[in-house]
Amino acid sequence: MITIKSKKEIELMKEACKVTALTYDYIEKIIKPGMSTLELDNLAEKFIIQHGGIPAQKGYPSGIRGIPDFPGTLCVSINDVIIHGIPSKNVIIKDGDVVSVDLVVLKNGYNGDAARTFLIGDCSNEAKELVAVTKQAFFEGLKFAKAGNRVGDISNAVETYVRQHGFNLVREFQGHGIGKEMHEDPGVPNIGKAGRGPRLEPGMTICIEPMVMAGKQDIWELDDGWTIATQDGSLSAHYENTILITENEPKVLTIL
């Protein structure tokens, strides 16, 4: 069921989204070669708590027997890992890495969700283009996140832009509604046809999140039950924000 947020709920969501945005500013300052993904995770968790938030992804249920709940504050996904990389003391960030970070902050009972991809040190031209296209794909989708349009208009804009640049999109995962729950209706695919899907209304809060691959479209899941990687080992990137549908232009809540 799609929920339309009241003015009060929107104000509460803005506070969660502000902590999310502040955390990314902090991560951008501290992420560096030689740091383990677990160290980055621990520092981000402390920062979120210091700013009155709760790391919403930590302990998120897998829903699969035998697969533990997600153990980290952050999803830290490097190079060919697309999403849901588990922070580890054994995974060290290196010069030239493409590091995607996804985090969700819970505050006042509402969630703020965003993802960023960081270029570490001296990266390849392919990596730089991939990250730039992934970020811009979000903004291409955002242009269509207006009341009266449909979810498919966003999906089609993201897909068209990414394919024009010779990259591929993940089919199996998508953006989503957000509010009291991390994942709410409607689903917001990165692939689709214009004019299809639920109609956008003022007060809806959704996440648009292109997940882009430099190589083929096929993915695979690691044995940990969480980590999703490109099947051919190609680079990937991820960019996401929580946005509010208004009577006029959409508002991005997770950018300061």
Count: domains in the chain: 1
For 179-218, the pLDDT digits (tens) are: 999 999 999 999 999 999 999 999 999 999 999 999 999 9
In a domain, 2, yes or no: no
Q: What is the pLDDT of residue 64?
A: 87
Tokens (6 digits) for 159: 């897909």
In a domain, 209, yes or no: yes
In a domain, 144, yes or no: yes
Tokens (6 digits) for 184: 């709410």
- Rounded to an integer, the average pLDDT of 33-45 is 98
For 86-122, the pLDDT digits (tens) are: 999 999 999 999 999 999 999 999 999 999 999 999 9
* pLDDT at position 65 over 90: no
Percent of the chain with pLDDT over 90: 98
pTM of the predicted protein model:
0.97
Tokens (6 digits) for 51: 């700013």
In a domain, 1, yes or no: no
In a domain, 228, yes or no: yes
Looking at residue 65, which CATH number applies to its domain? 3.90.230.10
In a domain, 69, yes or no: yes
In a domain, 62, yes or no: yes
Structural domain for 38, as ranges? 7-252
Work out the number of other CB atoms within 10 angstroms of the CB of residue 165. 14
* pLDDT at position 6 over 90: yes
In a domain, 56, yes or no: yes
